[in-house]
Amino acid sequence: MNFLHTEYDSEPDDSLEKSMSLVASAISDPSRVSILCALMDGRAWTATELSAVAGIAASTTSGHLTRLLSNGLVICLMQGRYRYYSLAGHHIAGLLENLMGVSMRSQRSFTPSTPVVFRYARTCYDHLAGELAVKIYDFMLRERWLEPDGNALTSEGKAHFQRIGAVLDPRPRRKACCPCLDWSERRFHLGGDAGQALMTLLLQKEWITRTPGYREVTVTGGGRVALSRLFGVNLT
């Protein structure tokens, strides 16, 4: 599989303000937002699949994808004669997740309006999000698996990750661990390499299953037992 490289302007503008406005403009279209939200499941999609989820014509989708590519929001991967699109990285997923939180209208008493299943457990690019993920994060803080600011695993936390089988990258190219603001819960869940390691474990153990084409995940019967035992999460 090869990356399709998209060239940026040959003479990039030195103005941070202009660069920010270009990215904001690329996100401003509802159809492009639909495409980006679909890619938040962490998987690669074809243009045809993205046109279906956005409800637009294939020719229109091509133009939107070119705009997203040129602004570094998505990447294109070539496999044979097929092209697959995915988010440019976890930093873009974090941007979108934060934007979702900002976009929700402030209320005196916060009441999420998102579907219950989606709010309970979903993917946030390559890690777990939603009410379930927030509960796991709270448990890790209480049990001192995490430093108080959530930006690092403690030695005890690393030992527990090893014990449960969550494999950490010894030299991660991203933050080893970080709090990620959950847009539906307005609280933190686990991000960074540690969040990815946990998500990978949950999938490998089949404690959660993914819903094809959607960000929602389902906790299996075995997962309910395991998550209750490991993180004290009551899933009844």
CATH code for position 55: 1.10.10.10
Residue 1: pLDDT over 80: no
With respect to residue 101, please indicate whether it lies within any of the assigned structural domains.
Answer: no
Rounded alpha-carbon distances, angstroms, from residue 153 to 84, 172, 179: 34, 13, 11
Place of tokens 């496999």: 79
Same structural domain, 61 and 128: no
pLDDT at 110: 46
224 and 119 in a single domain? The answer is yes
Q: What pLDDT is stored for residue 14 in this prediction?
A: 62
- Which amino acid makes up residue 155? S
Task: Give the Cβ contact number of residue 144 at 10 Å.
Answer: 13
> pLDDT for 214-234, tens place per residue?
788 999 999 999 999 999 988
DSSP lists the bridge partners of residue 188 as 181
Of 40, 71, 88, at which residue does a domain stop? 88
Whether residue 144 lies inside any domain: the answer is yes
Number of domains in the chain: 2
- Residue 236 has what pLDDT? 61
Whether 213 has a pLDDT exceeding 80, the answer reads no
- Indicate if 199 and 125 belong to the same structural domain: yes
The parent domain of residue 74 ranges over 2-88
Q: Quick one: average pLDDT of 119-123?
A: 88
For the segment 178-192, the average pLDDT, to the nearest whole number, is 87
What's the pLDDT tens digit per position in 34-66? 899 888 877 788 999 899 888 899 889 999 999
Predicted pLDDT at 182: 84
Q: What is the predicted pLDDT for the residue at 101? A: 67
pTM to 2 decimals?
0.66
122 vs 215 pLDDT, higher one:
122
Is residue 102 scored above 60 in pLDDT?
yes
Do 83 and 4 meet the contact criterion of CB atoms below 8 Å apart? yes
- Whether residue 85 contacts residue 66, with contact meaning beta carbons closer than 8 Å, is answered with no
